[in-house]
Amino acid sequence: MSILSPTPEAIQAAAKSIRDGKLVVIPTETVYGLAGNAMDEQAVQLIYDVKGRPNDNPLIVHVSQTEQAKAIVREWPEMAEKLAEKYWPGPLTLVLPKKPSVPDCVTGGKETVAIRIPKHPIALKVISEAGVPVAAPSANIFMALSPTKAQDIEPEIDLEVEFILDGGPCEVGLESTVLDLTQSSPQILRPGGISRAEIQAILGRPLGHVPPGSIRAPGMYPRHYAPKATVILVDKLESNMPGLTFEQSENNLQIEMPSDSKSYGVRLYGALRQLDLKQVDKIYVQRPPQSEQWEAVMDRLQKASTSLA
Ligand code: TXA
Ligand code: MG
């Protein structure tokens, strides 16, 4: 595999690859991203092709400074300013009306663009050196588990990119929260690294609720983030079941998960991947508590356990 340590030379090379219309895998604090120049239609199309992702599923645009975000949107509401001040760089993506200069292919033909400033120092360096906004969906094949360390990148992705920059294990482990600021009431389209409570505290108002199970945006599919094995949610694991438990593990295919939601999120994809590697055909997951803190984890577990049929 072409994994490089993040030396200054490798960071420069990654930035140059992006400027030249090529793809690289970069670490972020959430998950590893498949990165290309967001303003280059061919590079963006390559991202869709490599992932096998439908073209109507918009990509998140990553920038290194708030000014760079403002330069690609038609409006920068007060709410965006407050949230950016508090949570950028960080795992919060804001959906805003796009300027015409943002290619339609990045936004899946929509008039809005999703933007964030990632917190990982290597991602920030690559983006600022590249000098262009960077489209970066998770570096996995469409619908599969997102990679949370360099070694998780599948060969299908590895073969199509210049190289993978190793930034160590991801600190958050789940994707960013996607917040739509284009509606009269702000709405979470995808729960993630920043919680509903954290956003509400900054905005001083409750966020709209989208009915569970509804497809909230193009690209929000009922099945997603799924391991190869079938995921089944249960109240408690029986001693012979492979899976994720909050209790003491009773066989070597049971993984004990942390009881706080953030640490659980950090471990989740890695734990599912570990069981996939052991080639189990079912992964039983002990249902987490039904509180708001667990919203992002529950979202991923629900999507992972939805069958395509
Ligand atoms: O944590 C993350 O956000 C990771 C890392 C690599 O930064 N990136 C990521 O990107 O998850 P991506 O492109 O896979 O996320 C895209 C999701 C879409 O599925 C869609 O739900 C939402 O973000 N999205 C993107 N653009 C949108 C738009 N214009 N309107 C509504 N939702 C949008
Ligand atoms: Mg993804």
Q: What is the CA radius of gyration of the chain?
A: 19
The more confidently predicted of residues 209 and 291 is 291
Q: Which residue has the tokens 């509903």?
A: 196
d(CA 18, CA 279): 36
Which residue would you say has higher pLDDT here, 209 or 218?
Answer: 209
Mean pLDDT of 178-192: 94
Name the residues around ion ligand 2, CB cutoff 5 A: 138
Cα separations (Å) of 288 from 19, 188, 260?
43, 20, 10
Give the ligand with the smallest distance to the CA of 28: 1
Q: Which ligand is nearest to the CA of 191?
A: 1
Q: Inform me whether the pLDDT recorded for 218 exceeds 60.
A: no
Instruction: Find out whether the beta carbon of 217 lies less than 6 Å from any atom of ligand 1.
Output: yes
Is 265 near ligand 1, meaning CB less than 6 Å away? no
Ligand 1, residue 118: give the atom nearest the CA. 7
CA dist., res. 14 & res. 165, Å (int): 8
The model's pTM: 0.95
More confident residue, 212 or 184: 184
Sorted by sequence, the CB contacts under 8 Å of residue 231 that are 6+ apart come out as 272, 282, 283, 285, 301, 304, 305
Residue 47: its pLDDT value, please?
A: 98
Q: How far is the CA of 309 from the centre of ligand 1 (A)?
A: 25
User: Using a 6 Å cutoff on CB, does residue 245 contact ligand 1?
Assistant: no
Which residue puts its alpha carbon closest to atom 9 of ligand 1? 137
Whole-number Å distance, alpha carbon 238 to ligand 2 midpoint, is 31
The whole-number pLDDT of residue 250 equals 95
140-181 tens-digit pLDDT: 999 899 999 999 999 999 999 999 999 999 999 999 999 999
Quote the ligand 2 centre to 103 CA distance (angstroms): 20
Instruction: Tell whether ligand 1 has an atom less than 6 A from the beta carbon of residue 191.
Output: no
Mean pLDDT computed over every residue of the chain: 94
Q: Check whether 226 has a pLDDT greater than 90.
A: no
pLDDT at residue 34 greater than cutoff 90 = yes
Binding site membership of 147 for ligand 1 (Cβ less than 6 Å): no
Ligand 1 centroid to Cα of residue 249, in Å, is 35
Q: What confidence tens digit (pLDDT) does each residue in 4-19 have?
A: 999 999 999 999 999 9
Give the pLDDT of residue 143. 87
Distance 115 CA to ligand 1 centre (A): 8
Residue 222: predicted pLDDT = 66
What percentage of the chain reaches a pLDDT higher than 70?
Answer: 94
